[in-house]
Amino acid sequence: MLSVVTISLSGCMLSFDPDDETTGLKSIDGFKVCYSDNNYQVDNTFERYSAHVLTNLAMVFGVPNSSVQIESKPLTSNAKNYDRIRVQYAGGPAISTGWNWSFAESLANCTSQQEENKVVQYYTMETANVYLEEYVSVYQTALAVTAMQIASGNAPQVFTVEVNESTGQTKVFVDSTKTQEVNELYLNAEKAKFAQNGFYVGFTPENLATFKTYVLTNVIGSNIIGTQYDSISTTQGLKTYSQLLDEIFALNTGFEKEFMSPYPSCMAKDVMDTSLYPVSGGLNSLKNITPYEYQSITLMPNRALEILSLTLTFSAETAMKIDVLTYYYNATTKTQSLLFEGNLNLKANQENQYLVPFDDIVVMDKFDNSQTKISAPSQITNQNGLSTQFAYHGGAVLEEGEKSYLSIVFKPEGAENAYMPFKVAISSLFIGE
């Protein structure tokens, strides 16, 4: 079925044939493979990010203290900046213009002052610590769920907040019927969904824009945005909520840099033999391929190569649609580009070949696997360091570096929470000699 093909285009072009070791097969040492795992364990990254954001929101808009990091933080001596999460001033008595995500004014040791002239007495470190602890503990789970949903490409949930002034308690519910509280049990259920559907951990710039809109609309509340209360006196003059949120999200701390460098939510492994090539002859040429819900395959050439096109072969036990995207990182220009995008309607128990053409010849560097070697299937996490070797650029691909590489990304489409394993093989690769 596979044979050596010669094409007169920019030199001699060869396809590799698993049965002929004189062809391009010898030019590839193996592949970096990412795949979703049915037992993927979601760590606490989203909870940590949620607490990080809530802490900054409370310090900037609630009770500011000396640890506020943004340059144009509100002036603590200005009464109109006082506790804007729960109460704001229009001069004189307090008015009820708190955020949608607020909490009880009757909270012990953190009660609101009713007159502006008492505001200065309120700004103490003790009060700020109580405020931070309360705000983070009430909303951390809800905001973590929101972040996971955004990272999964889903519309974030709009929660219902219930503030009880008589008891000082604040609760968050899934919807307006208040039949299900947003607690650890609910968070774990959302994590189970993310383990099936989540493509990467962390935020892209597009995710962050969605997240900011969510905070402005649902946390702060659209009833305040664009009104006379959407203006805050800072060390650099008046700022809107939107402007200050941009500064909060742009803080260059270690964790923020980590969260804004998303990595695939999957397993990674090295395939160092011919197990990603089809077996020539017979009706089942993919019998040696392990079925996974593949996310990406990155080629590891052992020398510099020029590639014109490649062909993939797919099969699965169930019908599915698979989006196929090919990304190329050019180390010379330090740019990431999408070379090809298409989709395949795969029928159950049938093999399909899929050609991935390139408009131009792609130059790949020799792949040095000494630093990124993965000897056994491993979950990509920050804890084991694999997240520094992989990054998200429209798909699960290798991190930018000093070498050019090619990565083929797969996005199977199916029912929510369904695990969708399939087989894929590199059936031909046209290279320049």
- 227-239 residue pLDDT tens: 888 888 888 899 9
Same domain, 227 and 356: no
Question: Is 104 within 8 Å of 170 (Cβ atoms)?
Answer: yes
pLDDT value of residue 6: 31
DSSP structural state of residue 235: B
Secondary structure of residue 143 in the 3-state scheme: helix
Question: Is 268 within 8 Å of 387 (Cβ atoms)?
Answer: no
Same domain, 238 and 120: yes
Question: Is 420 within 8 Å of 346 (Cβ atoms)?
Answer: no
As a whole number of Å, the end-to-end CA separation of the chain is: 23
pLDDT more than 90, % of the chain: 30
Distance of alpha carbon 36 from alpha carbon 195, whole angstroms? 8
Give the H/E segment covering residue 413: strand 405-413
DSSP structural state of residue 189: H
Question: Is 79 within 8 Å of 93 (Cβ atoms)?
Answer: no
| Cβ-based neighbours of 396, under 8 Å, separated by 6 or more | 34, 199, 200, 264, 266, 295, 296, 390, 407, 409
Two tokens, residue 103 = 């909490």
- More confident of the two residues 341 and 369: 341
Same domain, 293 and 171: no
Whether 288 is covered by a domain: the verdict is yes
Whether 149 is covered by a domain: the verdict is yes
Whether 1 is covered by a domain: the verdict is no
pLDDT, one tens digit per residue, over 1-55 is: 333 333 333 434 444 454 554 455 678 888 989 898 877 788 899 999 999 999 9
pLDDT, one tens digit per residue, over 391-418 is: 765 454 566 567 788 889 898 886 566 7
Same domain, 21 and 50: no
In 272-368 the beta strands, taken as DSSP E runs, fall at 293-301, 305-315, 320-330, 335-346, 352-364
Whether 414 is covered by a domain: the verdict is yes
Same domain, 243 and 350: no
Question: Is 253 within 8 Å of 262 (Cβ atoms)?
Answer: no
The distance of Cα 193 from the centroid of its chain, to the nearest Å, equals 14
Could you give the number of structural domains in the chain? 2
Give the H/E segment covering residue 190: helix 184-197
- Taking residues 345-357, what's their average pLDDT? 90
- More confident of the two residues 85 and 182: 182
Backbone angles phi, psi at 209, to 5 degrees: -65, -40
pLDDT, one tens digit per residue, over 83-113 is: 788 877 655 555 556 899 988 776 655 555 5
Domain limit, last residue, from 194, 228, 259: 259
Give the H/E segment covering residue 424: strand 423-432
Same domain, 87 and 233: yes
Question: Is 88 within 8 Å of 69 (Cβ atoms)?
Answer: no
Same domain, 63 and 143: yes
Whether 145 is covered by a domain: the verdict is yes
pLDDT value of residue 93: 58
Distance of alpha carbon 46 from alpha carbon 278, whole angstroms? 39
| Structural domain span for residue 209 | 45-259
Domain limit, last residue, from 259, 293, 314: 259
pLDDT, one tens digit per residue, over 254-311 is: 888 889 888 888 899 999 877 888 887 667 889 889 999 998 898 888 888 888 888 8
* Mean pLDDT estimate for the chain: 81
Which of 141-150, 176-185, 391-400 comes out lowest in average pLDDT? 391-400
Q: What is the pTM of this model?
A: 0.80
Same domain, 79 and 177: yes
Whether 115 is covered by a domain: the verdict is yes
- More confident of the two residues 235 and 388: 235
Which of 76-90, 183-197, 231-245 comes out lowest in average pLDDT? 76-90
* Helix ranges restricted to H, 198-253: 205-214, 241-249
Whether 77 is covered by a domain: the verdict is yes
pLDDT value of residue 21: 46
Two tokens, residue 414 = 């199916």
Two tokens, residue 238 = 């008046």
Same domain, 138 and 212: yes
As a whole number of Å, the CA-based R_g of the chain is 27
Domain limit, last residue, from 233, 259, 285: 259
Judged by phi (left if over 0) then psi (alpha if -120 to 50, else beta), residue 168 lies in left
Distance of alpha carbon 424 from alpha carbon 224, whole angstroms? 52
Whether 2 is covered by a domain: the verdict is no
User: What is the CATH number for 423?
Assistant: 2.60.120
Same domain, 193 and 69: yes
Torsion of CA 217, 222, 228, 233, to 10 degrees: -20
Write the DSSP string, 64-127.
--TT--STTPBPTT-GGGTTTTT-EESSSBEE----SS---TT-TT-PPPSBGGGHHHH--HHH
Amino acid identity of residue 70, one-letter, is: I
Same domain, 169 and 91: yes
- More confident of the two residues 11 and 240: 240
The distance of Cα 406 from the centroid of its chain, to the nearest Å, equals 21
Backbone angles phi, psi at 299, to 5 degrees: -75, 145
Same domain, 237 and 273: no
